[in-house]
Structure 1
Amino acid sequence: MKRLKAGDIIYRLFAIVFFLIFIYPIYFTVVSSFKTNTEIWNTMFALPSKIEWSNYTSAIFDVGILRAVLNSFIFSFGACMVVVVFVTMAAYVAARKLIRFSGALRLYYLLGLMIPPYAMLIPIVTMFTNFGFRDKYWPMILLYAAINFPMSFYLITGYIEGISKELDEAAIVDGCSTTGIVFRIIFPIASPGIFTGAIISFLAVYNELIFANTLLTNQAMKTISVRLLGLQGERFTSYGPMFASIVLSIVPILIIYLIFQEKVESGMAAGAVKG
């Protein structure tokens, strides 16, 4: 048997400690979703003495968490698609300096990173109210896409700058248009960086609360974060359905990750190498 060095032992101990730290919230959430309020407080770490399936039925039918998950997914996927398409085109223009004001374009999106989105909450609410954009999918999707545009822009621009311009020149010789170059040449090569930007945008929208809570008044349009916030009462909170709702909201993200696992890992690894 190979003898472990002191550094290897310390490394493995740290790995085990961090694994336990990160796995505990998941364990606590899943286990608590099958308990009553009393059992959650009295036996926080123990397994449930009796499985309370009523927590999940309450989360589905009373809380309406499945509709909230669908709404969050629609907003996230829609914003993600808008970001991927338009950011890729804007990033190509900036990276290749196809317009005279490429530097000003970069500065413009830099301001988008510097100014917190919630600092513009009041004018955005006013605009949505005056134009009748409340409780509609497309205005919210475009708003979320605009919020996540700057971060993805800089991420994808940096990736495209690492792609040789000779590919563009060869495509032009073959009669390819600028749009064709972006979607036929650049998009496949820069897909790891683009996919990383898409992941960041998707998760940011999926977990967003402030704009959703302010701009969505129709109960049928509520997102996951707003639904979970509504479960918190002033005098009493039913924690069983709350934890069940959290578990049901996590499941779609896990499924998406398992389906696109290779893309996620390759995108993050490529981003790390580029950085």
Structure 2
Amino acid sequence: MQRKLKPNNIIYVFFAILFSFIFLYPVYFTVISSLKDNNEIWNTMFALPKEINLDNYRSAINDIGILRSVLNSFIFSFGATIIVVITVTMGSYVISRKLLKACGFLRLYYLLGLMIPAYGMLIPIVKMFTTFGLQDHYLPMIILYAGINFPMSFYLIVGHINGLSREIDEAAYIDGCSTTGIVFRVIFPIARPGIFTGAIITFLAVYNELIFANTLLQQKSMQTISVTLLGLKGERFTSWGPMFASIVLSIVPIMVIYLIFQERIEGGIAAGAVKG
């Protein structure tokens, strides 16, 4: 028996289709443009390519070096995410369980990290990197990105830990578990949705970051995706085909990761909103 669409449902379906088109069209335009040359892009902007031409992708890989930029972005993102997950999980447990007298102060201190724009500290950070010769190095950039993304992940994860009963901790103590053991063997698995969500948000934020990367990474071999794509725009002429091909190559990995873990991300955010 077929179900009839109610007026309210028709509205929902209409907006679902509309927003799907709005979000998918840029992807469609980028993909078809990556298979065209400049003339075809401008003359037949919205049409499918007359023939599949992979020269733009060869140029993106061989001339632009987009795969190296993708690798650099993954190194920065993965490194910062690991640091954030470990430090935020431990810090969130300590503050949630009030194991220090300064827990209230630390909550306000981390709140400043959300209130003060990270790019408002650009000048002193650049000065520090220049003074100590930290430019064009992986580890300093990873630590910088981890520090910038710490507050957001902290407030996301601490909401999950606040929702966990203290009786779990007491039972683990009775079984002879140390504080570190409780954090990583008991709390970590239970609060996995929030931790996983914080990790994905950190990864995406670092992967797409531009300002610090453009300022602190001068060597071409160290540049991230955002910096490489920015350098493709010329003052008088821009080769749009290789640029679109580079964009496709840069977004495919992150789209695959997001699609694989989409349910966990959305579930973690919803759970954090309830428990926080």
Same fold (TM over 0.5): yes
Q: Give 2:241's aligned residue.
A: 240
Q: Give 2:196's aligned residue.
A: 195
Q: Give 2:12's aligned residue.
A: 11
- Shift in Å at residue 213 of structure 1? 0.5
Q: Please list every run of 5 or more consecutive structure 2 residues that lacks an aligned counterpart in the other structure.
A: none
TM-score, length basis structure 2: 0.96
Are the counterparts in 1 of residues 162 and 275 from structure 2 also a CA contact under 8 Å? Answer: no
Q: Give 1:207's aligned residue.
A: 208
Q: Give 1:181's aligned residue.
A: 182
- Shift in Å at residue 218 of structure 1? 0.9
SS of equivalent residue, structure 1 residue 26:
helix
Find the aligned partners of 1:80 and 1:113 in 2 and give their Cα distance: 18
Are the counterparts in 1 of residues 159 and 272 from structure 2 also a CA contact under 8 Å? Answer: no
- Deviation per CA, 1:63-116: give whole Å up to 9, x if none: 100000000000000000000000000011110000000000001101111111
Q: Give 2:91's aligned residue.
A: 90
Are the counterparts in 2 of residues 196 and 268 from structure 1 also a CA contact under 8 Å? Answer: yes
C-alpha distance 262-11 of structure 1, shift in aligned 2 (>3 A): closer
- Deviation per CA, 1:8-32: give whole Å up to 9, x if none: 1121111111111111001000010
SS of equivalent residue, structure 2 residue 247:
helix
Query: Which shows bigger deviation, 2-11 or 173-182?
Result: 2-11
- Deviation per CA, 1:237-268: give whole Å up to 9, x if none: 11100100000001111232344344334323
Q: Give 1:264's aligned residue.
A: 265
Find the aligned partners of 2:19 and 2:207 in 1 and give their Cα distance: 26
Q: Please list every run of 5 or more consecutive structure 1 residues that lacks an aligned counterpart in the other structure.
A: none
Find the aligned partners of 1:100 and 1:175 in 2 and give their Cα distance: 25
Note the aligned Cα RMSD (angstroms): 1.2
Q: Give 1:110's aligned residue.
A: 111
Are the counterparts in 2 of residues 135 and 218 from structure 1 also a CA contact under 8 Å? Answer: yes
Query: Which shows bigger deviation, 54-63 or 35-44?
Result: 35-44
Amino acid aligned to 2:264: K
Q: Give 1:249's aligned residue.
A: 250
Amino acid aligned to 2:114: L
- Deviation per CA, 1:110-165: give whole Å up to 9, x if none: 11111111111111111111111111100000000000001111111111000000
SS of equivalent residue, structure 1 residue 34:
coil
Query: Which shows bigger deviation, 215-224 or 263-272?
Result: 263-272
C-alpha distance 7-263 of structure 1, shift in aligned 2 (>3 A): closer
C-alpha distance 111-171 of structure 1, shift in aligned 2 (>3 A): same
